[in-house]
């Protein structure tokens, strides 16, 4: 289905910033109140561990730095991707290490089925629609991106910027294309889903996408497991099929990157967050989740060119991102079903397209 038009809106905390919430919650306390006493949930340690939060992804570096400055709780970045975060939580289920986890929505169902999350409703999620939250409040969509071609125009040389999925199969792009491993990274699986939909497939019929990815592999495409934006900026992967926001961030850093929504169609990629079941520092985890959905948190994510939860890009980003009509080609799907069929897809992908 095509993504419906929505008004510009971010997840709100009654129009209150996280810093203001700290001040408000401190009212009535004595002068000797500590930072932890000012938090909505009393701090239960000096750190909070959040899986899948690379500093260069979605502006997580600044998000966690500002949270730590406001709360006094250390929040280190974590380099895992969605699949690695899921695997780590499964391995550690009897003795959890993480407090919060962030994954592409296709992994949300697997987290639920493995009983790896506990219910918590972060402040600011009250206005999210039912598709942006789990029925039991185990996870909430924090922001989204869109599958796009990120093109290093310097590395292309005289080769034209590709505009369609079909273009990438042209021999002139041999060895130039990459996308993250669909079996490990949410964005990689989203790429596979996007091209499958664009070429006439659906979540019950992966053949169009598998045939295409097989041809793309034969044309020299690479599939790294980890975030590959550095390889894109350095020209090692001239064309990376990835999330649009990674391209915008590289543009802001000075790289000559062009962001292209493929002509045949694309896919919107929601990302969700949740509180880990039996988290060692659950209160710190709750405070971090509250921050993600506060005005401060959503502002920082949008500075990383993430589309805010439940809304569109802020007006101040106009001119820095593609116009809204380009995003009309991005579809949404039944993300629960997308998660349910992921294992089946991965088996077929390994057999045919890897």
pLDDT in tens, 54-72: 998 899 999 999 999 999 9
The structure tokens listed for 215 are 């041809």
> Could you tell me which CATH number the domain at 145-267+327-352 has?
3.40.190.10
Which residues of the chain fall short of a pLDDT of 70? Answer: 1-38
> Cα-atom radius of gyration of the chain, to the nearest Å?
20
Q: Which architecture characterizes domain 18-144+269-314 according to CATH?
A: 3-Layer(aba) Sandwich (3.40)
C-alpha to C-alpha distance for 227 and 90, rounded to whole angstroms = 22
- Domain span(s) for CATH 3.40.190.10 in the chain: 18-144+269-314, 145-267+327-352
CB 101, CB 265: distance < 8 Å: no
Express each pLDDT in 198-247 by its tens digit: 999 999 999 999 999 999 999 999 999 887 899 999 999 999 999 999 99
Identify the burial level of 186 via C-beta atoms within 10 angstroms of its C-beta, where 0-12 means exposed, 13-18 middle and 19 or more buried: buried
pTM for this entry: 0.81
pLDDT of residue 165: 98
Relative to beta strand 239-243, strand 50-51 is: unpaired
The structure tokens listed for 113 are 């089925």
pLDDT of residue 248: 95
C-alpha to C-alpha distance for 177 and 167, rounded to whole angstroms = 11
């Amino acid at each position: 289905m095509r993504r419906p038009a929505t008004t510009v809106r971010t997840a709100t905390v009654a129009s209150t910033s996280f810093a203001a919430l700290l001040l408000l919650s401190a009212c009535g306390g004595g002068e000797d109140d500590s930072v932890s006493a000012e938090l909505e949930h009393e701090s239960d340690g000096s750190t909070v561990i959040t899986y899948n939060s690379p500093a260069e992804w979605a502006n997580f570096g600044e998000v966690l730095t500002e949270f730590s400055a406001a709360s006094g709780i250390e929040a280190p970045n974590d380099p895992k991707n969605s699949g690695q975060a899921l695997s780590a939580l499964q391995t550690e289920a009897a003795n959890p290490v993480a407090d919060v986890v962030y994954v592409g929505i296709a992994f949300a169902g697997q987290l639920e089925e493995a009983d790896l999350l506990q219910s918590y409703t972060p402040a600011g999620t009250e206005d999210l629609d039912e598709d942006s939250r789990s029925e039991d409040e185990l996870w909430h969509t924090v922001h989204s991106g869109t599958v796009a071609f990120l093109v290093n125009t310097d590395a292309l040389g005289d080769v034209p910027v590709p505009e369609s999925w079909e273009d990438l199969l042209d021999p002139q792009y041999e060895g130039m294309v990459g996308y993250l491993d669909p079996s490990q990274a949410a964005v990689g699986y989203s790429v596979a889903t996007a091209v499958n939909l664009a070429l006439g497939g659906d979540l019950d019929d992966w053949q169009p996408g598998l045939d295409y990815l097989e041809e793309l592999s034969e044309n020299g495409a690479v599939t790294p497991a980890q975030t590959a934006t550095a390889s894109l900026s350095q020209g090692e992967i001239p064309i990376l099929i990835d999330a649009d926001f990674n391209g915008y961030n590289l543009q802001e850093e000075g790289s000559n990157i062009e962001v292209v929504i493929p002509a045949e169609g694309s896919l919107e990629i929601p990302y969700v967050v949740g509180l880990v079941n039996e988290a060692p520092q659950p209160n710190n985890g709750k405070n971090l989740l509250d921050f993600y959905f506060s005005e401060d948190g959503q502002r920082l994510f949008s500075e990383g060119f993430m589309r805010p939860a439940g809304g569109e890009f802020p007006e101040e980003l106009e001119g820095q991102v593609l116009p809204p009509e380009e995003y009309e080609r991005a579809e949404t799907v039944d993300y629960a079903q997308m998660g349910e069929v992921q294992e089946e897809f991965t088996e077929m992908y390994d057999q045919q397209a890897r």
